[in-house]
Amino acid sequence: MITADMLPALDDVIGNIPLPPICKVPLQSQGVLLDIVHVIGGQYVVEGELLASSSTSSHKVYAPISGKVKNRQMIKTIDNNYNETLIIELEGKLNISGMGSHPHSWEEITRRTLHERMKKSGILENKHFPAPNSVKNTLQYVLINACERESFLCVERKLINSVTEKVMEGIAMLQRVYPKIDIIICVDDRDKKAIRAVMQLLQSHKRSWRVYILHQKSGFFYINDEILTDLVLKGAFGASRVLDASEILAIYESVVLGKPIIDRIVAVGGSAIKNPRYLKARMGVPIAQLIHECGGFVRIPQKVIIGGALTGKTITDLSSPLTFECSTIIALLDQHTGHARESTCIRCGSCTTVCPVNIDPYTLLMLLRRNDTEKANEEGVNICIECGLCAHVCPSRIPLLSIIKKAKENHE
């Protein structure tokens, strides 16, 4: 089982990895196919140049480095599928994130211009924010998530602790474009330093934003947008959106630096990693390069997970390229993967205690094992959000998540 000491500490510095000689840029974004390709093989592209976009959505990808588009290849990506990918060879100079970049002022520009600059990040469109002046704009609440989505993730907390002022300035940009929204900043109760910094900035800039202190009910947790919204708004009426601290930082950089999403901060850790670290890395960098920057493996890992230990995906190809969806890389030795022989349920109640949607996995287990699907439906089997917490904490190693998922699939 993974423990917190296998991850980089909250006060560790964020390292920058060298520019890769080759970047692999998948022609998809968050599962959306990017079917309009704006470059051809042999073409020279500059850092931040638009590479591809979707004909059905606002998703786009940009050149993470300057160089020559070598070709397109079918590459295994972090979703373990083969996807068409642009191969870019490093050549030329930086034009966005190098030493010569000059921050842009945003306080004096019009709301419309500010909104156009924010859109370069792609975050607002991908999160289905309405146009600010649209008659259909009923947006009332925006929750800024500076907590983590599940146990043993740490990047969002790292950002609110290390770049607090940039995150707060990004929120101020959002407020200016959407002046009528009620902003609520959600901070983990363990982050006392960040809470103090946020409160001081709110006071000094005379902001009326609310701060919600999130108390986790156990050492293991899972939170998605719906759960967080219910916790914070408690059923209050009004349309809402949730933005993570990393997404707010991307908005800030798109306005201040004129930079689309070409890099991100990643936490690399786990029992198989020699030196867990936070790294700022370009999109398209091979996962293997991030691991190399952490000193490599202690021993060959049993599994390498992209994302959280609960809901992340195990990858088999370390040459797969980094994408914005990947905030965490966890490499685990065999003794920490949770593999053990299943034993009889001891009725400890751990699965029920950690369930974020308050269903009883033990009761579902008993019903499903005697094929009483009708009663299992009444007990909420279809309410399960498949976070995996129940299976993760089970001392008997009962594959609760697999059993419930199979029941849901059969029901469909």
Distance CA 68, CA 88 (A): 6
Q: What is the pLDDT of residue 151?
A: 85
> Nearest-CA neighbor of 267 among 148, 96, 186, 165?
148
pLDDT above 60: residue 98: no
Q: Is residue 218 over pLDDT 70?
A: no
Domains 4-92+260-336 and 121-256 equal at CATH topology level: no
Class of domain 4-92+260-336: alpha beta
Sign of CA dihedral 57, 280, 195, 220: positive
Second CATH level (architecture) for the domain 121-256: 3-Layer(aba) Sandwich (3.40)
Specify the residue for token string 């083969």: 82
3-state SS class at 313: strand
pTM for the full predicted model: 0.89
Q: What is the arithmetic mean of pLDDT over 92-99?
A: 60
What is the Cα–Cα distance from 343 to 153, expressed in whole angstroms? 29
Distance CA 306, CA 80 (A): 11
Mean pLDDT of 217-237: 85
The CA-based angle 115-121-127, given to 5 degrees, is: 85
316 vs 77: CA distance, rounded Å: 10
When pLDDT is averaged across residues 159-168 and rounded to a whole number, the result is 95
- Rounded to whole angstroms, how far apart are CA atoms 53 and 61? 7
Domain boundaries, the chain: 4-92+260-336, 121-256, 350-411
Instruction: Quickly state the pLDDT bin for 101 (edges 50, 70, 90).
Output: low
